Amino acid sequence: MLASTSQLLRDAQKEKYAIGAFNVYDLQGVQAVIRAAEALKSPVMLQIHPKALEMGGTPLVALCVEAARSAGVAVSVHLDHSSAEQDIRSALEAGMSSVMADGSHLSYAENISFTKRMAKLAHTKGCAVEAELGRLSGTEDGLTVAEYEALLTDPDLAVDFIQQTGVDALAVCIGNVHGKYASEPKLDFGRLEEIGKRINLPLVLHGTSGLPDEMITRSIELGVCKFNVNTEVRGAYMTAAKKYLDDTKKPELTDMMTTVISAMQAQVESKIKLFGSSGKA
């Protein structure tokens, strides 16, 4: 059933597990996530990146919302990383459960004003808002320690930010990066602990692909209730499609669809188990 993101995150926070928010681009991705969630009786989030929204438009949103409605487990639909007010408005009108209002590229004051406005808008529709404080980088190469730390979430500022904006969940920057980790991931758990102590909101970690299992578990202990997963599931899709085409003499489109769905489903299931949300739907 179509679920409220706030409710999913609050339940996860209470019981110390995390919800997987999986980026989807098409029907195969949606089916893989829903099948994995149903197989493990887990709540889950279908997440649409602005790039996917640009390609799929409102038909992609309608697909996700309908798949969530007809699922046998609680599923919410979330717009990922949007800094465009128009996209946020359309997402909410199209029936999505929550949005990430991303003002992290703005100055602190502008980030507050943008996020506060988007939170008000979402709340009038009964939807939730995630925001990010700090900036996720691709690499720390070439930065001084001070420059690098300036990109991470400041625990004191986090308190001020959530008070001023009224957001429902906060994405933290503690050394996590989008895409592939160029070197061994290093997460600042001391900083995460400080943030968790000061604010009582569900915390979100982006850039989950490639993090060792023990870092995921530690993050959940320290208050992370939502993990964004994109790269690994996309990778499973493309690897499976390539292998199918390389290995099959007479390829059939429907066979290839079945193959890629299974490959993505396996990835999603392994994440759900790691996040501890199995049996929580």
Q: Can you give the binding site for Zn ion, defined by CB under 5 A?
A: 206
33: tokens are 């996530």
Tell me how far, at minimum, the Cβ of 153 lies from Zn ion, in Å.
Answer: 13
Tell me how far, at minimum, the Cβ of 228 lies from Zn ion, in Å.
Answer: 5
Residue type, 207: G
Q: Is 156 a catalytic residue?
A: no
Q: Which is nearer to Zn ion, 30 or 173 (CB)?
A: 173
136: tokens are 């996720």
The secondary structure of 135-171 as a DSSP string is ---S--TT--HHHHHHTSPPHHHHHHHHHHH--SEEE
Q: Which residue is nearest to Zn ion (CB)?
A: 206
Q: Which is nearer to Zn ion, 11 or 80 (CB)?
A: 80
Tell me how far, at minimum, the Cβ of 204 lies from Zn ion, in Å.
Answer: 9
d(CA 39, CA 18): 17
Active-site hit among 11, 26, 80, 154 = 80
**DSSP secondary structure letter of residue 42:** -
Q: Which is nearer to Zn ion, 21 or 236 (CB)?
A: 21
Tell me how far, at minimum, the Cβ of 214 lies from Zn ion, in Å.
Answer: 22
Contact 155, 198 (CB under 8 A): yes
Quick one: which H or E segment has residue 70?
Answer: helix 50-70
Cβ neighbours of 91 (radius 10 Å): 26
Q: Which is nearer to Zn ion, 164 or 231 (CB)?
A: 231
Residue type, 220: I
Q: Looking up tokens 């959940």, which residue turns up? A: 220
Q: Looking up tokens 């995150």, which residue turns up? A: 9
Active-site positions?
80
